[in-house]
Amino acid sequence: MSVTTDTRRNSPLTGFLARLPKPESLLGWFIAATLVVLVGLPLAAILLHLAYPQLYLGIFDLGDFDLFTDLWERRLWRTAVQNSLYLSFGTMVIGTFIGAGMAYLRHTYRFPTAGLIDFAAWFVLVMPSFIIAQGWVLFGRSGGTAHQMGMPWLGEFIFSLPGLVMVMSLANFPLAYLAFSAALHWNVRSLEQAARLAGATSAQVVRTIKLPLLLPALLSAAILVFVDTVGDFGLPAAFLSVFRFPLIPYVIRQEIQTVPVSFEGAAVLASVLVAMVAIAITIQIRLLRNAGADFLTGGARPVDRPRPRFWPLLTGLNVTFLGLAIFAPLGTSLSVSFLQRYSAGFTLDNLTLLNYRAVLSEGSVLLPAMANSFGIAFGAALIALAVGFLAAYLLAYSGSRLRRFIDITSTVTLAVPGIVLAVGYILWWNQRWLADWGIQVYNTPWVIVLCSAAASIPIAVRVVLGNVAQVPKSFLNSAALQGAGLWTRIRTVLMPLTLAGLLSAGLAVFATSVFDLAITTMLQPSGFPTIPVIIDEHFRTVQYGWATAATVIVCLITASIIVTTRFLVKRLFRQYFATGGSQ
């Protein structure tokens, strides 16, 4: 009997099976390979095209790097770089001041309408930047809202560098607001009281205690605003029709979409944009390394917000702010969608529903565009959610040596502007040798799906990881002791407990992919209309009524899809939501 047992143990088949990689190891390699295809290869293609400008033709001739010297000799390129720096630094200062200031008021004082600041921050954060920018264009144009309110000077101000800084600051203040709000939620009064007992004045307490403790949050907020501004494509796309102010993202688009096509020029500008972002993040890391301070103790308490005597002033200030941040751009866009002629102004005789009829009529380009964009968003959400969920599992539970690589590659696109990622997809998937092998992804809808998924993977990973980390590993170990394999454990244990996070991540990716102007305008195949591109085209051709009506309809449909999906999923799987296991 023992001889038979030893023979089975030492059989060649047993030894072969023992040497096979474990399912968890295979999963790690699969996710790593997927991230290389979705993220690594497109970004590497940009770097390779800097050294080999004709790589897309299959020619491996080393370039002479003259385009880097042309960066300051070509007037358009030089102007775009300078304008991007001016706008980004200005927005970083003003946007951080607005966001941090509103966060301070929100978490320090109690006054009417204070809760609306949170709503405004999240509303502006999820709204595509090109839609907000279009609203500001309509607000400031001749005959627009500013002129009808008797403030033509405000319209002139908007179409200037300081005006653009204000517009971008109001669009990006949520980043600073949310980053700074987290630091203001807790207050350690014992430190302030100790300083007062030592004879410090109120100004000294602020300068020596409060500001140093809040400095990391302030620096993080500033860098977030800078990074988001420097890579923004929506503002130059909307303002170009009325105010020529070239920025790097829009010049990249010109290099790709004008004849002759300059892939190497787009690669150079994309590398400059990435370098700006990398330098900003590096500065943040170095500053925070020495600026951090652990100050939360058992004595920490949520901030007690009293109602001050000057609460009417705070209420008026907040209402003015909300009017500028939301109602000025978005309220103008909504009202313009009901106007027969934009130049005729807001009168009863000029109100009409013709714009909505034109948008929804048979033969309207919006209908196929909605089918295409919603299909792209659905595909991107599925891919990003699958990769994000499995990557989150590996990051939370796996001891694989690929964890660090997966963590970096699943986060890197968070710091890469969408326009740069789209350039990488063009340079990689437009290779001649890929076409010779029968791999045709470029100039098909799949290239938009893959690029949108790659851009959204950081969202999916971070949202799902927060839920996955709440599930004890002992749950999975118990299932493994009962004989459950890897996929059975994931399907029957982990997925039900993280269903709420999966739902939130999927809907977030879906919503952002529908309105991604930068990626779709760069990768849209011929004869394949998409929502953001057709809205942008109608807006640039001064068809304001059609563009705004289409925007309103698409926003309502997208919101309806999100609300309906959440309702149906929660109703079908109510047992998982009722227990709050993943909440």
Q: What is the 3-state secondary structure (H, E, C) of 142-202?
A: CCCHHHHCCCHHHHHHHCCHHHHHHHHHHHHHHHHHHHHHHHHCEECHHHHHHHHHCCCCH
At 1, the pLDDT band (50, 70, 90 cuts) reads very low
The percent of the chain in helix, strand and coil, each rounded to the nearest 5, is 75, 0, 25
> What integer pLDDT is reported at residue 504 of this predicted model?
86
Same domain, 292 and 218: yes
Same domain, 201 and 262: yes
The answer to whether position 319 is within a domain reads no
Average pLDDT over residues 301-327: 82
Instruction: With respect to residue 5, please indicate whether it lies within any of the assigned structural domains.
Output: no
Q: Are residues 83 and 121 in the same domain?
A: yes
**Res. 404 pLDDT band, cuts 50 70 90:** confident
> Any bridge partners for residue 351, and if so which?
339
- Shared domain check, 252 and 180: yes
- Domain co-membership, 290 together with 367: no
Helices and strands: H and E segment counts in the chain = 33, 2
Rounded to whole angstroms, the Cα distance separating 460 from 503 reads 10
Q: pLDDT-based confidence at 64, cuts 50/70/90?
A: low
pTM above 0.95, yes or no: no
Confidence at residue 580, expressed as pLDDT on a 0 to 100 scale: 44
Q: What is the pLDDT of residue 440?
A: 87
Give yes or no: residues 153 and 273 share one domain: yes
CB neighbour class for 405 (10 Å; exposed up to 12, middle 13-18, buried from 19): middle
Tell me what the pLDDT averaged over the chain comes to.
Answer: 83
Give residue 84's pLDDT: 92
Q: Please indicate, yes or no, whether residues 141 and 250 belong to a single structural domain of this protein.
A: yes
For residues 119 and 264, state if they share a domain.
yes
**Are 134 and 211 in a shared domain?**
yes
Q: Return phi, psi of residue 431, to 5°.
A: -70, 140
For 440, half-sphere exposure in the C-beta direction (CA atoms, 13 angstrom radius) is 6
Q: Torsion angle of alpha carbons 67, 70, 72, 75, nearest 10°?
A: -120
- For 172, the token pair is 């990006």
In the numeric block, which tokens belong to residue 257? 């979409």
Assess if residue 186 is contained within a domain: yes
Joined tokens for residue 386: 């699958």
pLDDT single digits (tens) 413-431 = 877 888 999 999 998 998 8
CA distance 110 to 120: 17
The verdict on residue 313 lying in a domain is no
Residue for token pair 């790593």: 32
pLDDT tens profile 117-127? 888 888 888 88
Does position 6 have pLDDT exceeding 80, yes or no? no
Q: What is the mean pLDDT of residues 440-459?
A: 92
Structure tokens at 98: 């607005």
In this structure, is residue 174 part of a structural domain? yes
**Do residues 390 and 243 share a domain?**
no
- For the domain that residue 233 is a member of, what is the CATH number? 1.10.3720.10
pLDDT tens-place string over residues 479-522 = 888 888 878 888 888 888 888 888 888 998 999 899 999 999 99
Range 53-64 average pLDDT: 64
Does the residue 546 lie in any domain?
no
Write down the pLDDT at residue 514: 92
What average pLDDT does this structure show over 156-180? 89
Residue 86 resides in a domain = yes
- Cα R_g (the chain), whole angstroms: 27
Query: Which segment of 138-152, 217-231, 439-453 scores lowest on mean pLDDT?
Result: 138-152
One domain, residues 193 and 128 = yes
Question: Do 29 and 72 lie in a common domain?
Answer: no
C-alpha to C-alpha distance for 348 and 345, rounded to whole angstroms: 9
Q: At residue 570, does pLDDT exceed 60?
A: yes
pLDDT digits (tens, 9 = 90+) for 353-377: 999 999 998 888 999 999 999 999 9
Q: Which of 480, 499, 529 is the last residue of a domain?
A: 529
- Measured between alpha carbons, how far apart are the two ends of the chain, in Å? 54
Q: Using CA atoms, how far apart are residues 214 and 216, in angstroms rounded to an integer?
A: 6
Segment 40-54 shows an average pLDDT of 82
Q: Is the pLDDT assigned to residue 383 strictly greater than 90?
A: yes
Pairing status of strand 186-187 against strand 301-302: antiparallel
- 348 Cβ contact list (under 8 Å, min separation 6): none
pLDDT number for residue 582: 41
Asked whether 99 and 177 are in contact (CB, 8 A), the reply is yes
For the chain, what is the domain count?
Answer: 2
Cα(176)–Cα(102) distance, integer angstroms: 9
pLDDT one-digit tens code per residue, 534-554: 999 999 888 999 999 999 999
Sequence-separated contacts (24+) of 404-407 with Cβ below 8 Å: 405/32, 406/28, 406/31, 406/32, 406/35
Q: Is the dihedral of CA 512, 513, 519, 521 positive or negative?
A: negative
Task: Kindly report, residue by residue over 104-114, the tens digit of the pLDDT.
Answer: 888 888 888 88
Residue 322 lies in a domain: no
Closest listed residue to residue 143, CA positions, set 223, 242, 54? 242
Q: CA distances (Å), 346 to each of 158, 277, 359, 539, 550, in order? A: 21, 43, 21, 19, 19
Question: Which of the pair, 579 or 339, is modelled with greater confidence?
Answer: 339
Written as one string, the DSSP assignment of 515-530 is T-HHHHHHHPPTT---
Domain extent at residue 501: 21-59+362-529
Q: Identify the DSSP state of 63.
A: P
Give residue-wise pLDDT tens across range 14-25: 555 455 567 778
- DSSP notation for 10-41: TSHHHHHHHHSPPHHHHHHHHHHHHHIIIIIH
Q: How many whole angstroms separate alpha carbon 406 and alpha carbon 368?
A: 37
Q: Which of 267, 266, 234 is nearest to 253 (CA)?
A: 266
Q: What is the pLDDT of residues 81-106, one digit of tens each?
A: 999 999 999 999 999 999 988 988 88
pLDDT digits (tens, 9 = 90+) for 24-42: 788 889 999 999 999 999 9
Cα gap 454→420, rounded to integer Å: 12
Q: How much is the average pLDDT of 161-188?
A: 82
Q: How many whole angstroms separate alpha carbon 172 and alpha carbon 419? A: 18
Closest by CA position to 506, among listed 392, 383, 422: 383
Average pLDDT on 455-463 reads 89
